[in-house]
Amino acid sequence: MIFKFVVISSEEESFLREFELDENNTLLDFHNILQEELEYDRSQMASFFTTSKKWEKEEEFTLFEMGANTTPMDEVIIDDIVIEDNQKLLYVFDMFNERALFIECVGTVNRIESRTYPVCTRSQGKPPQQVLFSNFTKVAARIDDEEEEPDDEYLDENDPDLSEFENMEDYDES
pLDDT digits (tens, 9 = 90+) for 27-86: 999 999 999 999 999 889 999 999 999 999 999 999 988 777 889 999 999 999 998 889
Cβ partners under 8 Å of residue 18, min gap 6: 4, 5, 6, 7, 120, 121, 122
Q: How far is the CA of 121 from the CAs of 33, 74, 78, 112, 117, in angstroms?
A: 11, 23, 17, 12, 10
Say if residues 70 and 60 touch (Cβ distance below 8 Å): yes
Distance (Å, whole) CA 47 – CA 24: 19
Say if residues 40 and 99 touch (Cβ distance below 8 Å): no
CATH number, residue 123: 3.10.290.30
Does 6 fall in a domain?
yes
CA-based radius of gyration for the chain: 25
Does 155 fall in a domain?
no
Does 138 fall in a domain?
no
Does 117 fall in a domain?
yes
Does 166 fall in a domain?
no
| Domain range for 97 | 2-128
In single-letter form, the type of residue at position 122 comes to R
Q: What is the pLDDT of residues 17-39, one digit of tens each?
A: 999 999 999 999 999 999 999 99
Query: What pTM does this model have?
Result: 0.74
Region for 153 from its dihedrals, namely left if φ exceeds 0, alpha if ψ lies in -120 to 50, beta otherwise: alpha
Does 47 fall in a domain?
yes
Does 35 fall in a domain?
yes
Total domains in the chain come to 1
Does 40 fall in a domain?
yes
